[in-house]
Amino acid sequence: MENRSNPVSRNYAEALLALATKADNREGFGVMIRDVANAIGQDPTVRLFLESPRVSYERKNQILAQAFADRVPRVFLLFLQTMVHNRRQMMIPEIATEYEALLDAEEGRVHADVTVARPTTSAETAGIGAELTRILGRSVTPQVSVDPAIMGGVIVKIGNTVMDGSVRRRLGKLAARMRATA
């Protein structure tokens, strides 16, 4: 995986991972930071509140404390408040992405973009993940998308590697061989 991350967001993600590890809640902190990032991306009111230079960082932190007081661990709240104090709150979506990448690397997980011709059941998706895990020797989380144009089979993309087992590709190769022998 190519790393084009912002060093500042990566440093914050590393700090959050260290806090999460100390709290023995790495997955939970990942969910929390992703939830905050999603709120920033989906709720214009939250975004404007955090972006606004008219609202002091003290007021922002006071509102964060009221909003999250009993909902998140204190150390996570302090992390968010430190980001606000340092005027880095708009980097939360980047930090969430970096955090997920760091956690995946430490846990030995990879994400695979899997394209299939028809929708899959959760059992089929789990089977695809299990088979990719067996082949690669690492835990694979499949992200399935549907493209009827591939006609059947599966296309798997992990990083820059593409494994194309689609019927469309096989038919294309067969047609090329037939043209070559004609």
Average pLDDT, the chain: 91
Residue that has been written with the tokens 């902190």 in this structure: 29
Strands 154-158 and 161-164: antiparallel
Alpha-helical (H) ranges within 23-163 are 26-42, 44-51, 57-68, 74-85, 92-107, 122-136
Give residue 165's pLDDT: 85
Query: Is 145:115 a contact under the CB 8 Å cutoff?
Result: yes
Distance in angstroms (rounded) separating the CA atoms of residues 69 and 125: 38
pTM (predicted TM-score) = 0.70
Give residue 4's pLDDT: 62
Segment 114-137 shows an average pLDDT of: 92
Per-residue pLDDT at 87 exceeds 70: yes
Per-residue pLDDT at 3 exceeds 80: no
Percent of all residues in the chain with a pLDDT value above 70, rounded to a whole number:
97
- State the CB neighbour count (10 A cutoff) for residue 52: 11
Domains of the chain, start order: 7-105 (1.10.520.20), 110-181 (no CATH)
Give residue 30's pLDDT: 95
For 22-47, what is each residue's pLDDT tens digit?
999 999 999 999 999 999 999 999 99
For 57-74, what is each residue's pLDDT tens digit?
999 999 999 999 889 999
